[in-house]
Structure 1
Amino acid sequence: MARRAERNRPSKRAGALGQRLVRLREQGARPVHEDMDDSDIVQDAVVECGWGRVLFTQTFQSNEAIIDRLRAEGLEQRDIAFYVRDPHVLLAAAPNELFLDPSHTYRLDLTTYRPKWRKLPGFFVRRLTSLADAEAVNRIYGSHNMVQMNPEFFWSKRDSRALTYFVAEDDETGEVLATVTGIDHARAFKDPERGSSLWCLAVDGQARHPGIGEAMVRRLAEHYLARGATYMDLSVLHDNERAIALYEKLGFRRIPVFAVKRKNPINERLYSGPDPSANLNPYAKIIVDEARRRGIGVEIIDDAAGFFRLSSGGRSVRCRESLSELTSAVAMSLCDDKAATRRLVEKAGVKVPAQMEAAGEEAIKGFLKEHGSVVVKPARGEQGRGVAVDLDDFTDVKAAIAEAKKSSDRVILESYFKGEDLRLIVINFRLVAAAVRRPAEVLGDGTSTVEKLIVRQSRRRAAATGGESNIPVDAETERCVKRGGYEMSSVLPKGERLQVRKSANLHTGGTIHDVTAQVHPTLVEAAINAARSIDIPVVGIDLMVTAPHEPDYVFIEANERPGLANHEPQPTAQRFVDLLFPLSMPASARLAQERRVEA
Structure 2
Amino acid sequence: MTRKTAHATRDQGYRLRRMRDSAFAGAAPAHPGGEAPLKDAVIDLGWGRLIFAHTFEEPAAIVDAMREETPDRRDIAFYVRDPHVLLAKAPQELFLDPSHSYRLDLATWRAASGRARGFFIRRLCSRADAEAVNAIYGARGMVQVAPEFFWTSRDSRTITVFVAEDEATGEILGAVTGVDHARAFDDPARGSSLWCLAVHPQAARPRVGEALVRRLASHFKARGAAFLDLSVMHDNEGAIALYEKLGFRRVPAFAIKRRNRINERLFTGPDPAEGLNPYARIIVDEARRRGIHVEVTDAEGGFFALTHGGRTVRCREALSEFTSGVAMSICDDKSVTRRIVSAAGVRVPEQIEACDEAALAGFLARHGEVVVKPARGEQGRAVSVGLSDADEVARAVAAAHEVCDRVLVEECVRGEDLRLIVIDGKVVAAAIRRPARIIGDGRATARALIEAQSRRRSAATGGESEIPLDAETERTLAAAGYGLDDVLPEGVETPVRRTANLHTGGTIHDVTAETHPALIRAAITAARAIDIPVTGIDLMVTSPREPDYAFIEANERPGLANHEPQPTAERFVDLLFPLSRARAAAPSTPGARATTADH
TM, length-normalised to structure 1: 0.91
- What CA deviation, in whole Å up to 9, does each residue of 1:27-59 have, x standing for no partner? 9x999x986312xx2221111111111111111
Matched, 1:556 2:555: no
Distance, in Å, in 1 between the alignment partners of 2:484 and 2:101 is 43
Label 1:25 to 1:154 Cα distance change in 2 as closer, same or farther (>3 A).
closer
Structure 1 residue 423 corresponds to structure 2 residue 419: yes
Q: Which of 116-125 and 103-112 deviates more?
A: 116-125
Q: Confirm or deny: 8 A CA contact 1:439 1:502 kept in the other structure.
A: yes
Alpha carbons 1:181, 1:201 under 8 Å: kept = yes
* Post-superposition CA distance 1:152-179 (Å, at most 9, x none): 1111101101000111111111111101
Question: Given that residues 117 and 219 in structure 1 are in contact (C-alpha distance below 8 angstroms), is that contact kept between their aligned partners in structure 2?
Answer: no
- The residue aligned with 1:148 is 144
Number of matched pairs = 567
RMSD in angstroms over aligned alpha carbons? Answer: 2.1
Aligned position for 1:223: 219
Aligned match for 1:157, one of 129, 149, 153: 153
Contact 1:117–1:218, Cα closer than 8 Å, also in 2: no
Q: Does 1:581 align with 2:562?
A: no
Q: Output the amino acid matched with 1:424.
A: L
Q: In structure 2, do the counterparts of structure 1 residues 589 and 292 end up closer, same or farther at CA, with 3 Å as the change threshold? A: closer
Contact 1:125 1:167 in 2 (8 A): yes
Aligned with 1:507: secondary structure? helix
Distance 2:214 2:411 in 1: 49
State the partner residue of 1:115: 111
Q: Which of these residues, 357, 367, 374, is aligned with residue 361 of structure 1?
A: 357
Contact persistence 1:440–1:501 (CA under 8 A): yes
Q: How does 1:310-329 map to 2 (within 5 A)?
A: 310-329=306-325
**How far 1:72 sits from its partner (Å)?**
1.3
Deviations 1:501-535, CA, capped at 9 Å, x for gaps: 10110111111111112211111111111111111
SS at match of 2:490: coil
The answer for the alignment partner of 2:259 in structure 1 is 263
Match of 2:446 in 1: 450
Deviations 1:206-253 (A, max 9, x none): 111111111111110110000000011111111111111111111111
Tell me the CA shift for residue 488 of structure 1: 2.1
AA aligned opposite 1:365: A
CA pair 117-275 structure 1, distance change in 2 beyond 3 A = farther
Long gaps (5+) in structure 2: 1-19, 588-599
Aligned to 1:509: 505
Match of 1:526 in 2: 522
Q: Is the 8 A contact 2:291 2:583 kept in 1?
A: no
Aligned amino acid, residue 336 of structure 1? D
Alignment of 1:572 with 2:530, yes or no, is no
Deviation (angstroms), 1:589:
9.9
Deviation for aligned residue 1:539: 0.7
Q: Provide closer, same or farther for how the CA distance between residues 589 and 22 of structure 1 changes in structure 2, counting only shifts above 3 A.
A: closer
Q: Percent identity?
A: 65
Q: Give the conservation status (yes or no) of the 8 Å contact 2:539–2:552.
A: yes
Q: 2:464 matched to 1:464?
A: no
| Distance (Å, rounded) in 2 between the aligned partners of 1:309 and 1:587 | 19
One-letter code aligned to 2:495: Q
| AA at the equivalent of 1:507 | H
Q: Is the 8 A contact 1:166 1:179 kept in 2?
A: yes
Q: Secondary structure at the match of 1:245?
A: helix
- 1:247 corresponds to which residue? 243
Give 3-state SS (helix, strand or coil) of 1:585's partner. Answer: helix
Paired with 1:249 and 1:510, the residues of 2 have a C-alpha distance of 29
Q: For residue 542 of structure 1, give the secondary structure of its aligned residue in structure 2.
A: strand
For residues 99-134 of structure 1, the C-alpha deviation after alignment (integer angstroms, 9 at most, x for no partner) is 111111111111111111531212111111111111
1:176 and 1:230 mapped to 2: Cα distance? 30
Structure 1 equivalent of residue 82 of structure 2 = 86
Residues 473, 496 of structure 2: 8 Å contact kept:
yes
Structure-2 change in CA distance of 1:22 and 1:449 (3 Å): closer
> Which is richer in helix?
1
Pairing 1:77-476 to 2, within 5 Å after superposition: 77-476=73-472
Aligned-partner SS, 2:43? strand
Pair 1:448–1:534, CA change in 2 (3 A): same
2-structure distance, mates of 1:36, 1:522: 71
Contact 2:104 2:227 in 1 (8 A): yes
- Which amino acid in the other structure matches residue 179 of structure 1? A
Following the alignment from structure 2 to structure 1, what is the Cα–Cα distance between the partners of residues 188 and 32? 9
Q: Distance in 1 between matches of 2:189 and 2:570?
A: 46
After TM superposition, the structure 1 = structure 2 runs for residues 476-515 of structure 1, keeping only pairs within 5 Å, are: 476-515=472-511
Greater RCO, CA 8 A, separation 6+:
2
Residues 1:358 and 1:157: Cα distance change in structure 2 (over 3 Å): same
CA distance in 2, matches of 1:380, 1:504: 18
TM-score (norm 2): 0.91
Tell me, in whole angstroms, the C-alpha distance in 1 between the residues paired with 2:387 and 2:582. 50
1:298: how far off? 1.5
Q: Runs of 4 or more off by more than 2 Å in structure 1?
A: 21-27, 33-36, 586-591
Q: In 2 relative to 1, CA 25–66 (structure 1 residues): closer, same or farther, beyond 3 Å? A: closer
Per-residue Cα deviation, 1:339-370 (whole angstroms, up to 9, x for no partner): 11111111222111111111212211211122
Instruction: Give the unaligned 5+ runs of structure 1.
Output: 1-20, 592-599
